[in-house]
Structure 1
């Protein structure tokens, strides 16, 4: 059982960041405006593979860039670490794809359960929370012990595309997964089970409905659905909001020390807007007892669109933040 980190607002003056903890979720604010809520005690149905998630995520200018429980995939939760094929277990939600069954409800939806926050640090460039979690099978058996850290940091943002923006911040995310199941676990995806271009599983973001049809960009160029399964150190997505008619950009940056880096990206625009790290996209990775797996990413949330120069500058700032994040 966890104890709320604080029942009162704590703040970091230089970065103008603060947080509140209500006992089920942390809410982070920049300059007094909420920008990120991290629900660590979800109340989701078991079929949705309950797990902590970020939603809503909002730009510094106030535009929401996530959706949670969309009707087409109710197990999509804003931004979350989620894996569909963890040995026989599903920590993604919904039906499981295997070679033997294709998509089927296999009564194997596990849960990532918050244990405690082992600390919160406001002494650096942002606010960093450290968390312990236990992954259990649908029957309640322990599968994985996870040590997780995440940090919110404001970024230097030299705007070059002519947009009127309010800047950018990054969520730095680190997970260390240890096998406690008593057996070797092979982590894969529907693609490793035979379904073409369905290698989802990792740190996954689902965007608002209005972002459908938006565009991707990496250091080599811009496009849409052809970014599915590509490899690059970073990839950005820009979409447009209803009502305000403004644009926002989400960029994923992978730490170069990740196993297999640069790994593939799961990227869709035409069906709905989503982007995710996919280190198990096309090859299974073994998780053995005594040999934890660690993955680190930065997710940038920026007001406005990006041209090649601004996208690279934001990616560089996020990579620098990852390097300096102890």
Structure 2
């Protein structure tokens, strides 16, 4: 891909993100558009790209480790009974153009290709929404259509035999700091944290706050209305903004590295028939300072209904 200048995203009169459409990355990084840096309204960075611990992590975007055996995540591929293996199976998310590009958001068309084959067509919408004087929201929706002419399925390392690693879909890599971020969330769904081995939640009242769940183990793999990371002077609150998105468990890392994403393929592969389209929407509150559970819940309600 030929690098292009980033597209600037603004909110409340301030630059809050830059979007790279055609990154100049090696094939094994699974080149794809991404947002970085993303900042709070006060200018504090809350994303990281190409970190030493996972050089294929690229700020905020959409990444899937297994689309019919093709890697759109970057790095090694987890293969059942073999482990993580370096394979020549990396795909590319090609930026085809903007249908709309305003200072506070854009509508983008992309094509996911691998091995010379068009697999998926994506329609992506990104918007920056002002919430308060210290918080804004990044609203990201992606719609993926199977254009391969055959049935496909989406998998993850978890569905390929690695428990607890059901990443794939929306993903946000946060900056690594000397101390791991605090993790907390709303109350989880009735089935708790699913198959990822978390310890579950202690009830709670969903998006209205309540007791919720605390800690990486409790939130990782949970089906919750929202989850939060709170670092040094910043808080990120991730919310599934549609009923179908809220059915996807959350993938959460804090101790090893700070990152939150959705799990399109949690305990089984996600089938995508020829011509079929599926849609996910995640709204992320980006706040200065340390939010408590009630504050996070209030901003989520405002962000999702804005």
So what's the TM-score if we normalise by structure 2? 0.87
Aligned alpha-carbon RMSD (Å): 2.0
Counterpart among 136, 143, 151 of residue 169 in structure 1: 136
Does residue 198 of structure 2 align to residue 228 of structure 1?
A: no
- Gaps of at least 5 residues in structure 2 are 187-211
Conserved 8 A contact 2:4-2:20: no
Deviations 1:74-129 (A, max 9, x none): 1101111000011110000011112143211120010000001011357xxxx331
In structure 2, the partner of 1:44 is 25
Change (3 A) 1:212 1:206: farther
Does residue 75 of structure 2 align to residue 94 of structure 1?
A: yes
> How big is the shift at 1:277?
1.4
Counterpart among 164, 168, 180 of residue 197 in structure 1: 164
The number of aligned residues is 281
Does residue 177 of structure 2 align to residue 210 of structure 1?
A: yes
> How big is the shift at 1:315?
1.2
Conserved 8 A contact 2:228-2:237: yes
In structure 2, the partner of 1:256 is 242
Counterpart among 104, 118, 121 of residue 142 in structure 1: 118
> How big is the shift at 1:222?
2.3
- Gaps of at least 5 residues in structure 1 are 3-21, 157-165, 241-246, 322-326
SS at structure 1 position matched to 2:116: coil
1:51-200 equivalence runs, <5 A: 51-120=32-101, 127-137=104-114, 139-156=115-132, 166-200=133-167
Change (3 A) 1:67 1:117: same
Distance 2:38 2:214 in 1: 24
SS at structure 2 position matched to 1:310: helix
Deviations 1:164-214 (A, max 9, x none): xx5111111111111112221111110011101001111111111217521
In structure 1, the partner of 2:300 is 315
The 4+ residue runs of structure 1 with deviation greater than 4 A are none
SS at structure 1 position matched to 2:177: helix
> How big is the shift at 1:283?
2.0
Conserved 8 A contact 1:212-1:271: no
Conserved 8 A contact 1:225-1:269: no
So what's the TM-score if we normalise by structure 1? 0.82
Conserved 8 A contact 1:214-1:238: yes
Change (3 A) 1:212 1:274: farther
Does residue 16 of structure 2 align to residue 35 of structure 1?
A: yes
